[in-house]
Structures are given as structure tokens and as C-alpha cells.
Amino acid sequence: MARAVINAGICGFSTTVTTQATDDPRLVKVAITSECKAIQRLGEALTEADPFREISYRRATPQTAELAAQYCSHAACPVPSGIIKAIEVAAGLALPADVSITLSKTDGE
């Protein structure tokens, strides 16, 4: 099992993604709870995923990315990436490690 808690940024919405491997190595169960209505709709559509599809754009467009394009109007939303990371970890395709993006506004150049 893997869990990702994603604080999306200036919108202030928090999302929790819980993923669980199954006996089938090509299937991970996905549960998403979020304060964001768009991510709630994405979560209703994404209840399971093929981790091998999710980890590479070369095989096919990840299902998470397709659903994000359908339900989430903000292209910079970090939640879809966090969902894919949790799927990777649950499937044993990645080790759990925190990721971060630090943003600041600078003057000049």
C-alpha cells in the first residue's frame, strides 16, 4: 500500500491518494479523497490502474493523465503526478520518496 498527501498550492486544496497492489501485477487499486471538486471527479473515474501504463508515455498515455485532461482544468496541478507516484510505489516500481516544487517570484532577469 502507498499513500500520497498532496497539497496543491495556492488553491489550498489537499488530496489524499491511497493505492493498493493486487494479486495481478498489472492492477493497482486507487482511492482518492480531495477538497477539490475536479479531483473528486477524477477520483470517481480512476479506481484502478495498470502501473506499467502509468509510468511511461512511451507505452500509451497514462490513464491518470487522460483523466486529468478531462476533469482538471489547471494544467499545472501537481495532483495527477502525485497519483502516478503513489501507483508506482504500490506496484513496487519505485521507492517512496518525497518530491517537492519550490516556487518564488523574482525580480529582474
Residue 7's φ and ψ, nearest 5 degrees, are -100, 110
Beta bridge partners of 21: 28
d(CA 30, CA 25): 14
pLDDT value at position 50?
Answer: 97
d(CA 87, CA 81): 10
Provide, for the chain, the percentages of residues in helix, strand and coil under a 3-state DSSP scheme, each rounded to the nearest 5: 30, 20, 50
Average model confidence (pLDDT) across the chain: 95
The ranges assigned to domains in the chain are: 2-90
Write the pLDDT tens digit of every residue in 32-66: 999 999 999 999 999 999 999 999 999 899 999 99
Q: Give 2-90's CATH code, choosing from 1.10.10, 3.30.70, 3.90.1010, 1.10.357.
A: 3.90.1010
Write the pLDDT tens digit of every residue in 85-98: 999 999 999 999 99
d(CA 21, CA 88): 10
pLDDT value at position 109?
Answer: 60
